[in-house]
Amino acid sequence: MEFAELIKTPRVDGVVLHRPFMPTVEGTLCLTGHHLILSSRQDNTEELWLLHSNIDSIEKRFLGSLGTIIVKCKDLRMIQLDIPGMEECLNIGSSIEALSTLDSVSLMYPYFYRPMFEVIEDGWNSFLPEDAFKDLEAMTDEWRLSEVNRDFRVCTTYPPLVAVPRDVDDDTLRKAAGFRHGGRFPVLSYYHKKNGMVMMRSGQPLTGTNGRRCKEDERLINATLRPGKRGYVIDTRTISVAQQAKARGGGFETEANYPQWRRIHKAIERSNVLQDSLVKLVEACNDQSHSMDRWLSKLEASNWQTHVKEILTTACLAAQCIDREGASVLVHGTEGTDSTLQVTSLAQIILDPACRTIQGFQGLVEREWLQAGHPFAQRCSMSAYSNSKPRHEAPGFLLFLDCVWQVLRQFPCSFQFTEQLLVLLFEHAYASQFGTFLGNSAAERVRLSLPEKTVSLWSWVNRPQEIDHLSNPLYEPNSLVIWPSVAPQSLLLWEGVFLRWNRSPRCQEEAHEEMVHIIEYNKELQNKVNSLRRQLAQLETQEPPLQTP
């Protein structure tokens, strides 16, 4: 087995582990192919099992022969291991570094992981496009499921089945694909049942500098408009960025060629800018200086909250066009795999109550992120502590989760799930025993045989005990559109992720327990009263007792 070569010292005794808000543990450190394990070998103390893939970077320090390794994780936790013996420490350090940066996907833990729980429903089949389309069919016959992308022939980042206007044939789609970045021709993202308006997404049109046009593309998106109606194109880039894109063959829908569409430019930042923000934000959160000025200026300089505000505002805008203006919307940025998905998925959270349930939210992540071709493997290969220069890394998905948290905070009774589900998805997107977030697209997931060889995260989440754990006790289904406030005063730092390891969770946990207690006690009483009421009714209608013979 290849791992053995990488593990120079598989075991060290007398290692001391320091973790935030937990007692220090002394025990034996073991390295396996996928885990760093520390066990005190006593029954009652907790062990540490840390996936190597969760390790973002490490730092080594020496004081005499005592070595210390600071392990910085992708979930933003930092743990410290005091290792006696300089050589052991160096060996452990280099092994961790090698094991946490394995190149080959097939060596990743999900390929080795065997579930210790009973799989009730295979998560790989939980959210199939066919099933989602059935729901759509029940509402409208204006759309069809096209197989034009079978075997990923037209677009490598789309799933094999996509929803397109009924009256547009596959040939038109193929031609339109040729005119869109990455072959990402406009497809249906969301159908608003209330008024039949739709949200579509795509890659940028390839107009180039000489204003190329494509009749099929125009026909395709015009086919989504009702007669006499106008639609909105929401370009997630500023006008100047969109202009510059022309020089590289990209561009935007011009008024002349798309007279029925009105274009709105927003300013959602791109990958490396976002990654830089994350690094700065996390650094600010870990600053020990205790100076308020420093904290606020670092928080501001990270720009993280600015991104949250911009993304949320754009999503609200899309939702507003659909719900209030009664207009259909096409959303795209450059590739259509990042900011586009942030906007389309958040707009659905706002518009569609179904997306605010536990199942529905998973479905949304599956549809708008996984199937839609967000390149998770590239985006999430490094987190905030990585020392290497970022290539394709970007916390786009984390920003989406942050925005959902903001809406959840403003509407605490309208979501079936708690913040825990969002934190869970953040963790698993970066490091996981499940195969869900491996690969960059549907095509890659097929090539990697993930459904056959790995377990889906959804298989684990959709078990009664886990659902129970993630359920929001305050949930009251709310069928309305929920419009969040995007004022800076209304958008807070997501403590559950960014300050998670800086503050003891105890007080908030107690508050949650108290909340559950209040609600559970109420339910219990309701049941008791109802059963007594039935008993009473029975007694009251009973005939006078008969004499038993």
194 binds other proteins (CB under 8 A): no
Which of 388, 508 has the CB closer to other proteins? 508
**For other proteins, which residue of 24, 42, 106, 478 counts as binding (CB under 8 A)?**
478
Distances (CA, A) of 316 to 271, 327, 459, 491: 22, 14, 32, 14
Which of 414, 432 has the CB closer to other proteins? 414
> Scanning residues 324 to 363, which ones bind other proteins (CB under 8 A)?
324-325
Q: How far is residue 92's CA from residue 97's CA, in Å, rounded to a whole number?
A: 9
**For other proteins, which residue of 146, 271, 305, 337 counts as binding (CB under 8 A)?**
305
CA angle, residues 266, 270, 271, in degrees to nearest 5:
155
Answer for the pair 87, 66: CB distance below 8 angstroms, yes or no: no
489 secondary structure, DSSP code: G
548 binds other proteins (CB under 8 A): no
Which of 236, 462 has the CB closer to other proteins? 236
Q: How far is the CB of 325 from other proteins (least distance, A)?
A: 7
- Ramachandran angles phi, psi of 25, nearest 5°: -125, 135
**For other proteins, which residue of 71, 155, 317, 404 counts as binding (CB under 8 A)?**
317
Q: How many residues bind other proteins (CB under 8 A)?
A: 86
Q: How far is the CB of 288 from other proteins (least distance, A)?
A: 8
Residue 168: strand, helix, or coil: coil
> Scanning residues 236 to 265, which ones bind other proteins (CB under 8 A)?
238-239, 243, 254-256, 262-265
**For other proteins, which residue of 541, 546, 547, 548 counts as binding (CB under 8 A)?**
541
Distance of CA 267 to the CA centre of its chain: 21
Q: How far is residue 399's CA from residue 395's CA, in Å, rounded to a whole number?
A: 6
Q: How far is the CB of 468 from other proteins (least distance, A)?
A: 19
Answer for the pair 482, 355: CB distance below 8 angstroms, yes or no: no
> Scanning residues 383 to 412, which ones bind other proteins (CB under 8 A)?
409-412
Q: How far is residue 318's CA from residue 57's CA, in Å, rounded to a whole number?
A: 39
Which of 252, 369 has the CB closer to other proteins? 252
Residue ranges of the alpha helices (H) in 431-503? 442-447, 450-453, 457-461, 464-470, 495-498
Answer for the pair 152, 443: CB distance below 8 angstroms, yes or no: yes
**For other proteins, which residue of 142, 483, 500, 505 counts as binding (CB under 8 A)?**
483
Q: How far is residue 179's CA from residue 221's CA, in Å, rounded to a whole number?
A: 13
Q: How far is residue 337's CA from residue 340's CA, in Å, rounded to a whole number?
A: 6
**For other proteins, which residue of 1, 63, 116, 507 counts as binding (CB under 8 A)?**
507
22 binds other proteins (CB under 8 A): no
User: Tokens 């490091």 belong to which residue?
Assistant: 431
503 binds other proteins (CB under 8 A): yes
Residue 337: strand, helix, or coil: coil
Dihedral through CA 500, CA 420, CA 58, CA 450, nearest 10?
-170
Which of 118, 543 has the CB closer to other proteins? 543
Q: How far is residue 517's CA from residue 512's CA, in Å, rounded to a whole number?
A: 8
Q: How far is the CB of 174 from other proteins (least distance, A)?
A: 29
510 binds other proteins (CB under 8 A): yes
485 secondary structure, DSSP code: -
Q: Which stretch binds other proteins (CB under 8 A): 202-210, 272-280, 374-382, 471-479?
A: 471-479
Q: How far is the CB of 165 from other proteins (least distance, A)?
A: 24
300 binds other proteins (CB under 8 A): yes
Q: How far is the CB of 180 from other proteins (least distance, A)?
A: 19
Q: Which stretch binds other proteins (CB under 8 A): 20-28, 92-100, 153-161, 307-315?
A: 307-315
Which of 284, 438 has the CB closer to other proteins? 284
CA angle, residues 56, 60, 63, in degrees to nearest 5:
155
320 binds other proteins (CB under 8 A): yes
Sign of the torsion angle spanned by Cα atoms 276, 443, 202, 188: negative
Residues 270-289, mask of contacts with other proteins (x by CB under 8 A): ---------------x----
